[in-house]
Structures are given as C-alpha cells and as structure tokens.
A and B are shown apart, each in its own frame.
Chain A
Amino acid sequence: MLVDFDLIRRAQKGDSAAFNEIVLAYRKRILGTITRLIARTEDVEDVAQEVFLRLYFSLDQLRTAEVFEPWLYRLTVNAAYDYLRKQRRRQEYRMSDLSEQQVMLADALAGGKAEQDENYQKRIRESVQALLGGVSEADRILLMLKEVEGLSLKELEKVYKVNENALKVRLFRARQRVLKACGSVGKGRTPANAG
C-alpha cells in the first residue's frame, strides 16, 4: 500500500486534501499501467484522470480500506477496457504481419541476447502491440495484468472477483489466443501451470 488506511477513510468522508494525496501517491503507477494497457501515449493522462474521477465518485462504495488497491486496479481495468472498446482501432494483426526484424527480435529476446537501446525498445512496443492487437480487449488486459504488471493470482482474484481456477482457465485461453495470433498454438502448457 502506498497510502495508509486512515487517509483512505478520510477521503471517503469527503476530505479533498486526503483524496489529493491518494492521487499523488498512485498516479505514477496508474499512468504506467495504463500506458502498457492502451499503448497510446497521447491518451494515457486522459484515461488516468477518468480512473481517478471514477474513484472520487465511487469511494463511498468501498466497504473497507484494506481492499483499496484491488478496487483501484478494477477501476483502471474498466477505464482501459472502455477506452479500448471505444477506439476499436485494432487491426487484425497476425504474426505474419510482423516484419522479419520483429520476428528476429522475439527469437533474440528468448535467447536473452538483444541489445538495450531506444530503437530496440520501440521495436518491442510495436511487436507486443501488434501481437495483442489480434486478441480481444479482455484477453489483452488480463494477460497484461498477469504477465506485465506482475499481479499474482490472489490479487487478480480480488480485481476480477472470480476464483483462482476460473482465472487460470481464462489466462490459459488468453495465452492460447495470443499464441494462435502468432501463427501457431503453443504446446505443453495447461491451465494447471498457467499461474
């Protein structure tokens, strides 16, 4: 937790200064998550503000301060999902649409021998965005939260309000869809070891 429970309780009672402190504490993290979820830097601040706007008007519905972070993640996921649905600008990417250079990059990454420069990072962003452009917004967000944001299954349980097994199945299917978008379905992974 980046803030203490007392600050959240004060914000729930309508203390604007407390709410301001919460936003200041979490905005960098939320901006980072949204950047990776929506992949459009020019709209990141707008979506982040939407998250905090929803937080402001729904804070009174939060039952306990202990579940604040999953609650905030849930709001972030919903705002990103709404944005992606509105945009609907995803092309039907397939791995075959990626350049030979990008394909080589994926291979190099697996071997851990890619260089770390700005051009390389740009290519990573393009590759992942192209890859995730071929799956639904829901799959994209779930995979991002698990594999990129590093949320545990326990944390995802609180965000999605579904049990761990259901999440494992959803994650497994999301991975399969991404791998299918790559051109072939991955082998040797089952829902049991998806987490």
Chain B
Amino acid sequence: MYSMNGSEDEKLDALLRAYRDACPAPEPSPNFMPHLWQRIESRQSFTFSFRRMANAFVTAALVLSVALGAYMSLHHTNPTYYSQSYIEALADANALDNPEIVEPVHLDLSADQAR
C-alpha cells in the first residue's frame, strides 16, 4: 500500500486546491430554465390535484357522515326492534319470580322405594 511521505495534509490540501481549478463550473444549457419551470409546474399541478382529491375525499366523508346521522336519527324515532335494553329483555325472559326457576325441586322417592 502506498504511503504518502512528508506532510500528508499538505499534499491533500494541494490536491484539493488543484481540484477546484480542474473542475470549472459548466455553462448552463439553453434548456436549463425551461426545464426548471417545467419541473416546477408539474410539481405544482401534482400538489394541486392531490389537494383537490383530498378536498373531495373530505367532502364525501362529511356528506356520508351527515347522511348516516340523519338515517340513524330517523331510525330511532320509529323503533321496531330493541325497544328494551338488554337487561330488561333478559329479566323478561328469565324472571326471578318464575316458579319454574324459584320453586324447589320435589323428588318423588316413594315410587323408587316401592320397586
């Protein structure tokens, strides 16, 4: 491997200084400005169409929310189903005072003994 002798820093500095002279700024092509404006306009139109799409999406979501809200409120004014709460429905179905549940079980042992 090559090792720079003497002051490595001086050589690096000299090389980098010479690099600047060896790389002059190129002349811009005649299409530089038209291409730049084309790119700006295409980015702007993309941003604009994206914004328009986003606005349309937000509007559609709002309309849908309002429509759903209206539908739900109308639906609640004429309840056909679920007029009771879950607890009430459960209480009706299995009332605690229902004799079938509350009454103690009577076993008829006399029949078994007779056999």
A→B interface (CB under 8 Å): 20, 23-24, 27-29, 31-33, 35-36, 39, 41, 44-45, 48-49, 52-53, 56-57, 94-96, 98, 103, 106-107, 109-110, 112, 114, 120-122, 124-125, 127-128, 131, 143-144, 147-150, 175, 178-179, 182-189
Contacts and interface: CB of A to CB of B under 8 A. Distances in A.
Interface stretch (B18-26, B92-100, B103-111): B18-26
Q: Interface size bucket, B side?
A: 35 or more
Nearest to B4: A182
23 contacts: A29-B25, A36-B20, A39-B23, A44-B26, A45-B32, A48-B32, A52-B36, A94-B1, A95-B1, A95-B4, A96-B1, A106-B15, A121-B22, A125-B22, A128-B19, A147-B13, A147-B16, A147-B17, A148-B20, A179-B9, A184-B8, A186-B7, A186-B8
Interface in B29-87: 29, 32-33, 35-36, 39-40, 43
A94 B3 CA distance: 11
Interface of B: 1-4, 6-29, 32-33, 35-36, 39-40, 43
Which DSSP category, helix, strand, loop or mixed, fits chain B's interface? Answer: helix
Which DSSP category, helix, strand, loop or mixed, fits chain A's interface? Answer: helix
A96 B33 CA distance: 43
Contacts of B11: 106-107, 109-110
Contacts of B15: 106, 109, 124, 127-128, 131
Given A45-B28, A186-B9, A124 B36 contact: no
B8 to A, nearest CB: 4
Given A31-B25, A188-B7, A188-B9, A109 B1 contact: no
Given A94-B1, A183-B2, 19 more contacts: A31-B28, A36-B19, A53-B39, A106-B14, A107-B11, A112-B14, A121-B22, A122-B22, A124-B21, A147-B16, A148-B20, A150-B20, A175-B12, A179-B8, A182-B2, A184-B3, A186-B7, A187-B8, A188-B7
B12 A186 contact: yes
Contacts of B36: 23, 49, 52-53
Nearest to A144: B16
A57 B26 CA distance: 25
Contact of B12 (A33, A107, A112, A179): A179
A32 B25 CA distance: 4
A19 B11 CA distance: 42
B40 A53 contact: yes
A121 B17 CA distance: 12
Most buried by A among B8, B13, B14, B17: B8
Contacts of A49: 32, 35-36, 39
A153 to B, nearest CB: 16
